[in-house]
Amino acid sequence: MNGKSIEETMKLQTIKYQTTQKCIQFVSDLGFMMYEPAYFESYDRFVLSHQRVNKESMVKLINPSKEVLLLRPDVTTSIASNIVPLLNDKDELKLFYYATMFRQTESKITGRKQFGIEWFNAKEDEAEKDVLRLILDLFKSFEMPFILEIGSEAFLKTLFDQLSLTKQESELLKEMIAYKDEDRLKAWVKTKSFSQEYRDLLNTLFRLQGTPAKLKQRLHESSLPKPLNDSALELLNILSAFTEKEIRFDLSMISEFEYYTGLRFKVYLENYPKTVLKGGRYLAVNPYGDEARSAIGFSMDTDAVIKELVKRG
């Protein structure tokens, strides 16, 4: 019993069904094909290739051969290990999924529905624009205020390369950027012997965000160091294809994951406290082998979107 009446329960089920169908329709119209990720992963193989993952939060089972399995900890591993080895580096493949990921907390097992796409060997720029258009159209159809935030992993990777940091310095800088901790960053920059143009950039890094018009203005007013200017221009080129008021850029958007290589994006709903969609251009690597393919994709927290749609009524 969850305290809901039959009307409320059925209304929730209807919104769930309609939202799922809408997502599937949007991506099917663009040629994405359904992929059903595996339910189980081998615990040993998964842990070996995901060393930073919190093992305690995984749901474990034992099969009749006494092998320990994980109940679908993520979707990426299943897709990357089953699809990437089959692809050459030219053929495009567009997949979508709608699946439940499982987590173990202290007291219970929880399942979280995710909807997402993976577009392998997608042509750079063109695919980026298509995916951003898809996200914008999908979220506009929900008729709730949202913001699509766009960053560039290439910009940050170039910045880190140019600064020639040690691994420890690099981790520290990533942390300061992730928290937008300007005071700490400025204090740290003072202790380093970076060139003046990089000092200036780091001291104003968190101002490099806002509307696409602001990025254009910023690049027009004063140039960034050349390699970074090129990365920012690439981002501006993509952003210039859109006029939507919901778009913001953020050049200090940083990921905890190493696999992103280019454009990154997140969607926020006005009344939901967390990101409801995230994704970007990345290198899809078979976690159990050596094969790798460039791809662009996103995953959406459909439970969060449905929750907001239900609240809206």
Sort residue 66 into left (φ over 0), alpha (ψ -120 to 50) or beta.
left
Give whichever of 179 and 257 is closer to another protein, judged by the CB atom: 179
Query: 202 by DSSP, 3-state: which?
Result: helix
d(CA 12, CA 313): 10
DSSP string, 64-133: TT--EEEE---SHHHHHHHHGGG--SS--EEEEEEEEEEEE-SS-EEEEEEEEEEEETPPTTHHHHHHHH
Give whichever of 61 and 178 is closer to another protein, judged by the CB atom: 178
Give whichever of 11 and 180 is closer to another protein, judged by the CB atom: 180
Residues belonging to the chain:
313
Q: At its nearest, how many Å lie between another protein and the CB of residue 176?
A: 9
Q: At its nearest, how many Å lie between another protein and the CB of residue 114?
A: 18
Q: Are 305 and 114 in contact (CB under 8 A)?
A: no
Give whichever of 60 and 184 is closer to another protein, judged by the CB atom: 184
Q: At its nearest, how many Å lie between another protein and the CB of residue 169?
A: 15
Q: At its nearest, how many Å lie between another protein and the CB of residue 296?
A: 22
The count of C-alpha atoms lying within 13 angstroms of the C-alpha of 209, restricted to the half-sphere facing its C-beta, is 16
Beta strand segments in 226-274, E: 247-250, 260-269
Give whichever of 7 and 183 is closer to another protein, judged by the CB atom: 183
Q: At its nearest, how many Å lie between another protein and the CB of residue 147?
A: 5
Binding residues (CB under 8 A) for another protein: these are 145, 147, 149, 179-184, 209-210, 248, 268-275
